[in-house]
Amino acid sequence: MTPIRSPLKFAVIGNPITHSLSPLLHRSVFKQLKLDAEFSKVECVGDELSNLINRLKAGDWNGINVTIPFKRTIIPFLDALNPRAKTIGSVNCVIQDDGFLTGYNTDWYGFSMLLTLNHVKVSRNSFIVLGAGGAAYSIVYALLREGAATVSVVNRTPKNSNRLKEKLSSVQGDSGLDSCQINDLPGLIRDASVIINTTPVGMGDLLNQSIISEKGISSSHTLIDIIYRPLKTEFLKLGEMAGAKIINGMDMFLYQGLASLDIWMKYRISDRVNVNELKKILESQSC
């Protein structure tokens, strides 16, 4: 194995990427722990993914985070998948060793941490997941693993939510996982305890939009948005107005990042991080 050369180099790739706070997260950790390492943001447009993969294999970076919309499309470019990433079918972290690329999923762990830290009970509860992209795969996996009674996935393109259902139905025997139509939403909302937005609606160009209207939302619901910039999306604002409990994506983002760092450094370096300080830095930039 090639000895690790300093400085270590990491990046996040995606499109859009301007909103990403991954550089701030990782650079703050490097500063806290006095690590000689760099972290950059790389926008990947059109068919540039294979070029970026070649640069990664050539050693431009020791590891990368992968974000929207490449968490699933990157898989065929990788040499190996960690077993859990294979089960989930989505990759948000890649490590490069001597040009060999292995894909991992740390989003599911970030989302599980979000649930725990915000006291969201999973077992025997009913969930609606809005969207069926890479992030939704990780979230559905985490919910099924923790014993959700039902998980109803609703997506603008039913083919994609059907594919998600096919991939993840076997995570929990006799799973209550279903791919539902947008028209089913009123009934689903009536019966659900928790509604989760996994789409980009509410950030970037879609900043002032919410993926659903407030119809049927009440104080009996918890609304989770995995967006962390802004901290309070339109979706969360309408939930708050209706008296629902609201949770933003900051905890998921933070813990997926720390778990990625553990993978890249090959030990639990995150145990040494002052997480409260890190969260304050991130929240101050996220408004």
Give the span between the Cα atoms of 131 and 239, in whole angstroms: 18
Query: Among residue numbers 50 through 79, which ones bind ligand ATR (CB under 6 A)?
Result: 68-69, 71-72
User: Which stretches of 76-139 are assigned E, i.e. beta strand?
Assistant: 80-81, 93-97, 100-104, 126-130
Residues with catalytic roles: 71
All residues at 6 or more sequence positions from 265 whose CB lies less than 8 Å from its CB, including other chains: none
Contact 220, 191 (CB under 8 A): no
Binding mask 205-244 for ligand ATR (x = CB under 6 A): -x--------------------------------------
In this complex, which beta carbon is closest to ligand ATR, that of residue 15 or of residue 172?
15
User: In the bound complex, which residue of the shown chain has the CB atom lying closest to ligand ATR?
Assistant: 133
Give the span between the Cα atoms of 69 and 84, in whole angstroms: 20
Question: Shortest Cβ distance from residue 72 to ligand ATR (Å)?
Answer: 6
Site residue total, ligand ATR (CB under 6 A): 19
Query: Among residue numbers 149 through 178, which ones bind ligand ATR (CB under 6 A)?
Result: 155-157, 160
Contact 74, 49 (CB under 8 A): yes
Give the span between the Cα atoms of 211 and 278, in whole angstroms: 29
Considering only 200, 202, 239, 257, the residue that binds ligand ATR (CB under 6 A) is 200
Contact 180, 152 (CB under 8 A): yes
In this complex, which beta carbon is closest to ligand ATR, that of residue 48 or of residue 97?
48
- For the chain, the first-to-last Cα distance in angstroms comes to 43
Query: Among residue numbers 81 through 140, which ones bind ligand ATR (CB under 6 A)?
Result: 131-136
Question: Shortest Cβ distance from residue 58 to ligand ATR (Å)?
Answer: 25
In this complex, which beta carbon is closest to ligand ATR, that of residue 37 or of residue 85?
85
In this complex, which beta carbon is closest to ligand ATR, that of residue 179 or of residue 199?
199
Nearest to residue 142, comparing CAs of 173, 117, 181, 114? 114
Question: Shortest Cβ distance from residue 220 to ligand ATR (Å)?
Answer: 25
SS3 170: helix
In this complex, which beta carbon is closest to ligand ATR, that of residue 102 or of residue 199?
199
Q: List residues binding ligand ATR (CB under 6 A).
A: 68-69, 71-72, 131-136, 155-157, 160, 198-201, 206
